[in-house]
Amino acid sequence: MSGPPLPPVDRPALIAVDGRSGAGKTTLALELAALLRSHHTVAVFHLEDIYPGWHGLAAGRQRYREKVLEPLAQGRRAEWTAWNWNTNNDGERRVTEPAAIVILEGVGAADAAARGLLDAAVWIDADAGQRRTRAIARDGAGYEPYWDVWARQEEEWLAGDDVAAAADILVRDSPDALSPAAVLQALLNLPQLEPLLSLERSHPALPSLQVEKVEGCPDAADLFRDLYGSSSHAVWLDSSNAAAGQEPDRNAVSIMADGAGSFGQLAEHRAGMTTVTGGRVSVRIRAPFFRWLDSAWGAASVQVPEDFPSDFALGWLGCLGYELKRECGGNDVAAATPDAALIFAGRGVVLDHQRQCTYLLALSDAATAEEASEWLGRTQSVVKQLAARVQPADSGTPAEANCAAPAFSLRDSRDDYQDKVRRAKAEIREGNSYEICLTTQLAAEAAPHHDDFGTYLALRRRNPAPFATYLKFGDLVLSSTSPERFMSISPDGWLRAEPIKGTRRRVDDPAADAALKAELAGSKKDRAENIMIVDLLRNDLSHYAVPGTLQVSRLCAIESYATVHQMVSTIDALLRPEASRAEAVAAAFPAGSMTGAPKISTMDILDRLECGPRGLYSGAAGYFSLSGGADLSVVIRTLVRCGSGLSLGVGGAITADSEPEAEWDEVRAKAFGVLSALGAVFPEDRRPAGPEGH
């Protein structure tokens, strides 16, 4: 680029657009520059101007780094020699000024040696046949004899430099699908560009929320199957006890959505990096998860309609794994499952089981109004058809009838677990903790044709719960019948936590069952466990609460579910107006009922006692809504399938007076609800294989 000097800058933001030849780099770079020029001075550098001939990819990348990139990174003008493709020799001297933003496009613009100097790297991944056609159409027949020569150089370079894996933004391209607006939106998500792109970030184009009420509340399982059965990524936050006709206690609505549509996105966090995918563009945000969540969700942008039964007005839905504790004072432990997996739903369904009606929600703007209207009409037709059935269709065959019951194995044997209980009690005697929520895991291989949805339906029939959840994220599936709320935040800022500590397995005999409930209510040990966690959560919520608003509105109440009686408390507080909602969630994460107290030192003890990561178990599942509201359950009573592996986490709180045998019995009681729904048995109850067994 040449011309009059640009206004001086301390250092330009350097954005590379890379990809193999013919990927569409030039088109994207020029159109992206046009968008950015609304608020910034922008220069564009083309690497094809500096390559020394058809065999010069390696030498050209070196020239680019030394003559262009390094001076620009120091805030100096870049003076370089262009290649004359007609004479096949060095040509004229040129200058690239350090504009506020410099876009550097071409093969090798984001190679390993360059990336340390860049602020952002974009990689375009395109089909080889399409690339060849485009490159020759652009550069003429003169390029055709050299296509294979150049392609071999690209392959040699990329064999040792995986630029696609290292890029901040990945674009999956087809000939007419490059979207500079989508790439600009991805750039807005990068923390390193936040100050530069503050104007673009401060004036987002907000879509409107459309809400349609449909009389009738169809069978939830049938509705999810019809609407989302074929979706690769879908969420069902299921008040299955209310759906089963039980009196709703803490949650009377079910929510369904997937990541489809123009507004749909997927987000996955692993070990310090959140990858957000929308359409053909993925952005990798190398920052703590809760920092990204604050940016993506932080402030309310949609108002919940009057007389609407939920705080959910579309937004992010999914799950947070226990290993996110690394951001909350815990140790860094890796798990096979993601640290977080979420979808952004631009449309969804809310079932009001109490008032027997259904709400359809969709975001729309000028460009997507027709799409939203079509979805609303199609979905309304499905809801009305299912709601008109005199009797809901059977919600599926029990999972144990669909495939063989899985054979679970134990991470810890009875003796091993009881020994860990004793070691936990020793830590308590030493004053290192007051309460230690020790867990273990059962694992099995899924059958070749394992039916995830049928399995979940069997679980919800066996264990109806207010915070049941079915999450499908490709090869990751979570089937939960959790009765425990981790935390909710209302749009007007009220925080609520409802920890559970104290469990008794129910029995068929009514008198004996009533006696177990009474025994739990009068148990000093269980009450002490619960009150310790209440104190912990009072502290967690107080970090961002308005002084004087913190209160325990319910202490050690007994709730009864299909397979267990539970002791539950409720803590409320009002969030300070200036406080970050995401940080308030982080301050209470992981749930104190799954760690013990004091939280940080106890998590450290648990890492030493437990023989592996917890993964999604002990984490949270739910939504972060555009209304500013959130509602998250604790991931317990949950079966997780990751690839071909099934896992079930179970455990209990250890205190100074815990009995190892009784703690093992509690592990068995908590596993029973899930295992029985699967037709499986606790591992030590299986008959050993032998001649009689065959």
Residue 560: partners with Cβ closer than 8 Å, 6 or more residues away: 506, 517, 566
Q: What pLDDT is attached to residue 177? A: 64
Query: CA–CA separation, 640 vs 629, rounded Å?
Result: 26
Return the pLDDT at 143.
Answer: 74
Beta pairing partners, 267: 276, 342
- Chain-centroid distance, C-alpha 455: 22
| Residue whose structure tokens are 């230690």 | 436
Annotated catalytic residue: which of 25, 420, 472, 501?
Answer: 501
Residue 398 is predicted with a pLDDT of 44
How many other CB atoms are there within 10 angstroms of residue 578's CB atom?
6
Place of tokens 């860094």: 332
Supply 172's token pair. 């999956």
Show the tokens assigned to 393: 């269709």
Non-local (6+) Cβ contacts of 582 within 8 A are 290, 291, 293, 294, 297, 298, 624
Active site residue 599: no
| Phi, psi dihedral angles at 31 (to 5 degrees) | -70, -35
**CA R_g for the chain:** 29
The CA distance from 562 to 668, in Å, is: 16
Residue 484 falls in the annotated catalytic set = yes
Question: 688 — phi, psi (to 5°)?
Answer: -65, 145
Half-sphere exposure of 568 (CA within 13 A, CB side): 19
Show the tokens assigned to 404.
Answer: 């063989």
In this prediction, residue 249 carries a pLDDT of 67
Among candidate residues 105, 484, 498, 666, the one labeled active-site is 484
Classified as helix, coil or strand, 79 is strand
Buried b (16+ CB within 10 A) or exposed e, 647-680: bbbbbbbbbeebebeebbebbebbbbbbbbbbbb
Task: Give every residue of the chain whose pLDDT is below 70, as ranges.
Answer: 1-9, 139-142, 174-178, 247-249, 390-403, 686-694
Distance between CA atoms of residues 681 and 692, nearest Å: 19
Rounded Cα–Cα distance for residues 392 and 349 (Å): 18
- What is the structure's pLDDT at 687? 56
Question: What phi and psi values does residue 547 have, to the nearest 5 degrees?
Answer: -55, 135
Whole-structure pTM value:
0.92
On whether the CB atoms of residues 562 and 464 are closer than 8 A, the answer is: yes
Task: Write the single-letter amino acid at 574.
Answer: L
- pLDDT for position 622: 98
- Residue 692 is predicted with a pLDDT of 38
